[in-house]
Amino acid sequence: MSDGSHGGGIVVGPALVVVVVVLLAIAVLVVRFGGLGSWRAFLLAGVRAAVQLAAVSFVIAGILRSGWLTAGFVLLMFSVAVATSARRIGVPREVVPVAMAIGGGVAPVLGVVLASGVVPPSPIAVVPVAGIIIGGAMTATSQSARRAVDELRARHGEYEAALALGLGDRAAALEICKPSAGHALIPPLDQTRTVGLVTLPGAYVGVLLGGASPVQAGVTQLLVLVGLLAAESLAVLIAVELVAGGRLNTGWRRS
């Protein structure tokens, strides 16, 4: 099993490198000649993923031997998620409210699954589950906040009309932006609805390739999907409230 060539796992070798390069090249060429955006961003993302995963692969074994190092690694993942989401929203310095949105989604979910014992408090179990939940909350926060801000800027006249009708700042903003921001929950909702019929997500495949039974893999994936729904719903709600209340300073209000 050490060379990854047995037991149904991914075969690690020169062929894998070639396949990864070819797939990345396809993505870059399609974006470049299809006029879909910056092909350099796709190329850079692929290279960064390779470098980052290589680095993580080297250090993860040592991290998983210590509970304190594991906690530090989870905190690092959370910090990177906050910084990434803040940049994506367009407020790189507003890390505190962004952390409130992401953390407000992540903390309850991790608290429930760990306190219940469903996920054992061992590093090998905590790191992947925390990473998946943090990643989902990060994406939901970024998308919902951007949608909320875009909607408020595009429909600022309606916001001012709501104020003229007597609504407060927060209530008027929520009337405009909350429905659109809620669209950020469509991807996780669709993924949950179609799991097993359209896709077999990463957690299921990973557990299955790790030697677990299909039933164990299915239960694990169900926990992850429902946990993501909970975390992302909370993150979206908090992000929208912060934008509408002016605590996430995106500059959508006109002077």
Listed in sequence order, the residues at least 6 apart from 116 whose beta carbon sits closer than 8 Å to its beta carbon are none
- CB atoms under 10 Å from CB of 158, counted, come to 14
Interior CA angle at 45 toward 199 and 187, to 5°?
30
Of 106, 156, 148, which Cα lies nearest the Cα of 240?
148
Grouping H, G, I as helix, E, B as strand and the rest as coil, residue 121 is coil
DSSP state of 122: S
pLDDT confidence bin for 77, thresholds 50/70/90: very high
H or E segment and range at residue 195: none
Distance between CA atoms of 69 and 28, rounded to whole angstroms? 37
pTM of the predicted structure, to 2 decimals: 0.78
In the predicted model, is pLDDT for residue 5 greater than 70? no
Give Cα separations from 29 to 18, 53, 96, 179 (angstroms).
Answer: 16, 23, 38, 36
Give me the pLDDT at residue 9, please.
59
Rounded CA-CA distance 113/129 in Å is 10
User: pLDDT averaged over the chain?
Assistant: 85
Examine the pLDDT at 2 and tell me if it is beyond 60: no
Share of the chain above pLDDT 90, in %: 35
Element (H, E) at 96: helix 95-115
At 34-55, the pLDDT tens digits run 888 888 998 999 999 989 888 8
